[in-house]
Amino acid sequence: ILVGALKFNYIARLRGDPLAEVAQISTPATARVRDLIEAPDGAIWFISVGNGAVYRISND
């Protein structure tokens, strides 16, 4: 599960039962993440309110 944080300026990756944070993606682009989605190719698309832009993160 991926969760964006408006307050903390990062994207958290959660897993397990109960859910626990296992990783953080924190860059200048992740300021106030409003929404995110994982694309079929595994890329992460997200909207940054802090920067007023849409971003794509991938392993390509």
Chain segment 40-51, per-residue pLDDT in tens: 999 999 999 888
Structural domain boundaries, residue 42: 2-57
Query: What's the pLDDT at 6?
Result: 83
Which of the four pLDDT bands, split at 50, 70 and 90, describes residue 5?
A: confident
Torsion sign (Cα): 44, 50, 54, 57 = negative
pLDDT in tens, 10-24: 999 999 999 999 999
Count: domains in the chain: 1
Q: Which residues contact 2 (CB under 8 A, 6 or more apart)?
A: 11, 12, 13, 14, 36, 38, 44
